[in-house]
Amino acid sequence: MIREQFRSIYGRAPDIVARAPGRIEFIGNHTDYNGGAVLGASIDRVVEVALAARPDDVWQFASDGRPDLISLPAGEAEKQAGASAWVNYPLGVLASLPGFGRLPPGGFDFLATSNLPIGAGLSSSAAIELASALAFLEAAGQALPRPQLVELARHAENQFVGVPCGILDQGVSGFGRANHLVYIDCRGPRFELVPLPAGAHFWIFNTHTRHALVDGLYAARHRECMEAARALGVPLLADVSAEMLAAGAALLEEAPLRRARHVVEEIARVEAAVRALRAGDLAAVGALLTASHRSSRVLFENSTAELDFLADHLAASPHVFGARLTGGGFGGAVMALTDGAFDEAQARAVAATYEAEFGVAPAILHARTADGATLVPVAGR
């Protein structure tokens, strides 16, 4: 429990506890920063943050993943490097608060814990940003409407951490609800809950692989998409129809054209998935997931041999509706949408086949939908 861990580190109980879930990118790969639509699910794996006020002007940070305390003067949110780089996520929130009309709290002790697997594409970064934001606002006696809270967390990641992500990660973690998916029209952004049909299950297979240049590759894909939009004379690729893209294909270099085609077709797949979900047609949803992965592999080129192997084997397995990479790609995890008959034994069989091919077994996570970011009641308050 985070309260006991906090007490063991700081010698007292926390005043505030907040939690935020990780998320599955259900479908809508790299559509968010292109102004398109995306579907995600908040899951039952979380980052928790505990906070207690200090009498001095010191911000002190700890996490269950790092044994050393990080102490900084309150009000000095300077980017950290090396083993301390994890603290850039809460620091980014603190640095972003004034831009949203809110003040950071004074001195505090801070602890973050997580049962989210790191590097699996489940967005532990958005989870710690949102949990931290809720805790910092509560400590300072302030609040933000949920849409602005989500934007605050995204701003922290874009402007302070330096990752040019869209609103997917923070939006799903912030607006999630059990037994639902979160639909985001990223241009607004506009958030809507879509009921998940009964009997649907998520299985995550984490390859433990990560391309050494993943940050640069993500930024390159972002740049190529923006180049394609400019060449087609629109602000974002969400403004491009399939017909417009076909008519303007000669204006684009090969790589931007492939990225644009993926995004335009992926946005259409998101809308088709919403219709299929509302109709309870999980077979149709699964076919869209599998098509999404193939597009990521061929057109967006953000898949890997490991991800392709898992997606192909899962999509061909009994009781699996469809499978695709989840998250930014270039390593990470594959998500399978299954019925209730897909079980641990079948998941282990897929993992064994993967291990025979690549020499290491993927981690398996049977995830369920869960509610979004929230403050957690603290005894005695």
Instruction: Supply the residues annotated as catalytic.
Output: 169
Single-letter residue type at 344 = E
Contact 14, 50 (CB under 8 A): yes
Q: Give me 81's structure tokens.
A: 């490097």
Q: How many CB atoms lie within 10 A of CB 359?
A: 7
DSSP-derived 3-state class of residue 56: coil
Q: How many CB atoms lie within 10 A of CB 141?
A: 8
- Region of 150 (left: φ > 0; alpha: ψ -120 to 50; beta: rest) is alpha
β partners of residue 73: 58
Contact 262, 27 (CB under 8 A): no
DSSP-derived 3-state class of residue 327: coil
DSSP-derived 3-state class of residue 119: coil
Closest C-alpha to 172, from 200, 153, 149, 191: 191
Q: Supply the angle between the helices 146-155 and 168-175 in degrees, to the nearest 10.
A: 150
Burial per residue of 5-20, b for 16 or more beta-carbon CB atoms within 10 angstroms, e otherwise: bbbebbeebbbbbbbb
